[in-house]
Amino acid sequence: MTLLHEDHLFPADPEIRGIARRLYRTIRKLPILSPHGHTEAAWFATDQPFPNPATLLIVPDHYIFRMLYSQGITLEELGIGKESLTQSEARAIWAIFAANYYLFRGTPTRIWLDFAFQELFGLKQTLTAKNAEKYYDAIAAKLAEPGFRPRALYKRFNIEVLSTTNSALDPLTDHQAIRNSGWKARILPTFRPDAVVDPDFDDFRKNVAQLGEMHGEDTGHWTGYLRALSKARQRFKQLGCTATDHGHPTANTADLDAAAAAKLYSEVLGGGAGADRRELFRAQMLTEMAAMSLEDGLVMQIHPGAWRNHNEQLFKKFGRNIGADIPTRTDYVRGLHPLLQKYGNERSLTIVLFMLDESTQGRELAPLAGHYPCLRLGPPWWFFDSPEGMMRFREYTTETAGFYNTAGFNDDTRAFLSIPARHDVARRVDCAFLARLVAEHRLGEDEAAEVAHALAYGLARQTYRL
């Protein structure tokens, strides 16, 4: 008995399924490139054992506790907000999770977890309240073994590159420690400037002042602020960074002249800017970041369209990243127009666009990426990193943007053990899509194999300059 059938996610039609199998066999063991994610560099710097199954699998994963919360289970019951868990607390959280595992039927989370349970821990019966203790003990025993420490798992997962996501204010001491240790793995930081470019971010003015102090610049004025940001980017590059990451509420950009931008900055920093002016500042900063990417070569990732912290009560109690971010409508065509008029034709600039509004894929994103040399489409992300979401993405975008204006796959995860599962799902879905094209005589199988390799490995390597 196994949790996952060997043909899971492949087409039901026998002929197409056979083609998908053959394509998948050519790519299933390719190294993993993870150029966008949220794992912790500290795990690899210290290489300490993961403490217990609940802390590893449940507490950091908003996909899991979001579903449980929706069914009336409180975040306190799941250990959210606690610095550490006792063994009895961890077991109690695991028991709640196991008793409610049925809630994940049909979700990608179920696939990722079953993959980890089966492939990493040798567990082949569906998790339930009855076998919760057996599961917990088996996983806990494995986590105590040297082969389950972070560095060993990095090697076991066949990861070639793994990028973390770090605030512009991060001193990157864990990344430096990894380098100093002599370990040859590539754990790279990604530059995330939201805390110092979004006036609505917590402690924005304090953050901007800290940015200046860290980099020896006076951020009380516009030019000093831009120099501090540029120096921060260089600091990241010195530790291997190849990309920036921008999580703005909208895709709006702006192209103000220097005097107008400086005036707006003073207004925002002084705290007197209204909502429209704060949005204009965020829009201007995306264009400024594109200009800096032209200079320093960092790939720019833009993922707009989330109403962050929609549940204000939970935000006040637990802070960010507690599963209450909700997708909103996004206008890429008008929003990106100022930036693209200035830099869209630059062949040396790479901007990767992500979406949370599926209606934009065929109507806006594919036509934009199918024209502007600087644009690439990021993979289905967050709410759409599911088999259905991935298949819709290929169906909506391929006819206009093709395959080679996309950025391959990234897992965007805080849950380290889900990385191989997420990549396996993407590879299977892409092979299923390509198999249909082969069966319909729209693509030769040899060409489909080349595309499968590109989607699993080559495009991410090229796009993120790895």
Among residues 101, 116, 145, the one where a domain terminates is 145
Same domain, 218 and 75: no
Q: Kindly report the pTM of this predicted structure.
A: 0.96
Among residues 91, 123, 145, the one where a domain terminates is 145
Same domain, 80 and 153: no
Predicted local confidence at residue 451, as pLDDT: 98
Same domain, 271 and 133: no
Same domain, 307 and 448: yes
Among residues 89, 117, 145, the one where a domain terminates is 145
Predicted local confidence at residue 191, as pLDDT: 98
3-class SS of residue 55: helix
Q: Alpha-carbon distance 321 to 325, whole Å?
A: 8
Contact 384, 74 (CB under 8 A): no
Residue 462 above 90 pLDDT? Answer: yes
Residue, of 262 and 322, whose pLDDT is higher: 262
Same domain, 107 and 87: yes
Same domain, 116 and 185: no
pLDDT in tens, 110-160: 999 999 999 999 999 999 999 999 999 999 999 999 999 999 999 999 999
Same domain, 180 and 289: yes
CATH number where 377 lies = 3.20.20.140
Non-local (6+) Cβ contacts of 278 within 8 A are 199, 200, 268
Asked whether residue 3 is assigned to any structural domain, the reply reads no
CATH number where 65 lies = 1.10.2020.10
Going by pLDDT thresholds of 50, 70 and 90, the confidence category of residue 319 is confident
* Number of domains making up the chain: 2
Asked whether residue 2 is assigned to any structural domain, the reply reads no
Q: Please state, for a pLDDT cut of 90, what percent of the chain lies above it.
A: 96
Same domain, 83 and 97: yes
Exposure string of 139-168, with b = 16+ CB inside 10 Å and e = fewer, is bbebbeeeebbbbebbeebebbbbbbbbbb
Helix (H) and strand (E) counts for the chain? 23, 11
Same domain, 257 and 359: yes
Enclosing domain of residue 308: 14-48+149-463
Asked whether residue 6 is assigned to any structural domain, the reply reads no
Predicted local confidence at residue 321, as pLDDT: 80
Same domain, 70 and 42: no
